[in-house]
Amino acid sequence: MGQLEEAAFGAFYRSHARGLWAYVYRVTGHAADADDIVQEAFLRLLRAGPDTGEEEPSRRFLYRVASNLVIDRWRRKTRDEQTPPAADPPAVAAREPDDDVARTFAALAARDRALLWLAYVEGESHEEIAASLGVGKRSVKVLLFRAKRRLRELLHARGLSRT
């Protein structure tokens, strides 16, 4: 990578790393997982990312890779939970979100958290969300509707909604 490319990558990293980390953290609920996934996503961008010279395709590629890594991690965790451990792992205190709404958001399924975060925090279009999550463009509207409904139901069940 040449000097100019390094400078361009550094600027791209500085402008997108924090937002990507926040997205991954909200979806996974674990800071260490967010650190690992963001690092791996940027590494994969360097290795094989779109080389169009435009920022938006690289950003979409980055979110798509991060979303796939989150899903892979979730699948591995599910598989590991189905296999009994050889010995009891050491107890580790889970880091709880600071407020009730954040805990409620964390209670949603990973895909629901990803959909809501990309749509309402990142402000992505349905097309961009579809590209980031690897779902059909027409599915995003329905998936978002269902994710919002599940969040509303959780908030209501926990006494955190007005209706």
Count of C-beta atoms within a 10 Å radius of residue 37: 26
pLDDT band at residue 94, thresholds of 50, 70 and 90? very low
User: 3-class DSSP state for residue 108?
Assistant: coil
Under CATH, which architecture does the 97-163 domain have? Orthogonal Bundle (1.10)
Q: Measured in Å, how far apart are the chain's first and last C-alpha atoms?
A: 55
Amino acid identity, position 10: G
Under CATH, which architecture does the 1-95 domain have? Orthogonal Bundle (1.10)
pLDDT digits (tens, 9 = 90+) for 142-159: 999 999 999 888 888 888
For residue 117, the 8-state DSSP code is I
Every domain range in the chain assigned CATH 1.10.10.10: 97-163
pLDDT digits (tens, 9 = 90+) for 55-86: 888 888 899 899 889 888 877 776 666 665 55
- Would you say 118 and 133 are in contact if contact means Cβ atoms under 8 Å apart? yes
Sequence-distant (≥ 6) Cβ neighbours of residue 122 within 8 angstroms: 19, 23, 63
Cα three-residue angle 143-144-150, rounded to 5 degrees: 90
pLDDT digits (tens, 9 = 90+) for 97-148: 446 777 788 888 888 888 888 888 888 889 888 888 888 888 999 999 999 9
What's the CA gap between 86 and 90, in Å, rounded?
12
Residue for token digits 């949603």? 108
pLDDT score for 6: 80
Every domain range in the chain assigned CATH 1.10.1740: 1-95
For residue 116, the 8-state DSSP code is H
pLDDT band at residue 163, thresholds of 50, 70 and 90? low
